[in-house]
């Protein structure tokens, strides 16, 4: 089954639990400026920036996608630890690229540039890295 990327306006209880599990697997540096995954999820739902990756009815990954000036900012990209390395993040990034192209915006990865893994991810995805 393929991984579907969605922009949900609301979540079922199962979706919410899945997302809490996704962000429970996140490194501590990924969540700021939010104190916890729940706050991130609620803000993203409120402003329409949440993107989720669904496989077989379950949410396995998520990201935040926000237009900021001439950029489309991809941040808080996280995949459930159990499913990493299976293309879930790639699907989220591919969809973000598609949205950026549709809106004629440059896609950038927003994360803490002091984190080596953020630099590595930006290089791997061939995206400019910007501070959050």
Structure token pair of residue 89: 């993040």
| pLDDT band at residue 37 using 50, 70 and 90 as cut-offs | very high
Dihedral of the CA atoms 109, 115, 119, 124 (nearest 10)? -80
Helix boundaries (H) for 48-115: 88-102
- pTM listed for this prediction: 0.93
- Give the C-alpha separation, 22 to 30, whole Å: 12
Contact of 96 with 63, CB cutoff 8 Å: yes
Structure token pair of residue 59: 């949410």
Contact of 80 with 58, CB cutoff 8 Å: no
Mean pLDDT value across residues 52-70: 97
- Give the C-alpha separation, 74 to 56, whole Å: 24
Q: What are residue 75's DSSP bridge partners? A: 64, 110
Contact of 62 with 51, CB cutoff 8 Å: yes
Residue with tokens 């609301």: 10
Q: Where are the beta strands (DSSP E) in 21-57?
A: 50-55
| pLDDT band at residue 38 using 50, 70 and 90 as cut-offs | very high
Domains and CATH numbers, the chain: 4-130 (3.40.630.30)
Mean pLDDT value across residues 72-79: 97
Non-local (6+) Cβ contacts of 112 within 8 A are: 29, 32, 118, 131, 132
| 132 has pLDDT over 90 | no
């Amino acid at each position: 089954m393929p991984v579907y990327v969605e922009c949900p306006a609301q979540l079922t209880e199962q979706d919410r639990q899945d997302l809490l599990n996704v962000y429970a697997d996140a490194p501590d540096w990924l969540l700021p400026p939010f104190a916890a995954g729940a706050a991130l999820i609620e803000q993203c739902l409120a402003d329409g920036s949440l993107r989720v990756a669904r496989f077989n009815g379950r949410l396995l990954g998520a990201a935040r996608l926000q237009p900021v000036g001439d950029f489309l900012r991809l941040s808080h990209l996280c995949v459930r630890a159990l499913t990493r390395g299976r293309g879930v993040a790639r699907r989220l990034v591919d969809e973000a690229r598609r949205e950026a192209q549709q809106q004629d915006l440059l896609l950038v990865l927003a994360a803490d540039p002091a984190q080596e893994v953020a630099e590595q991810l930006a290089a791997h995805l061939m995206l400019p890295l910007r501070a959050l």
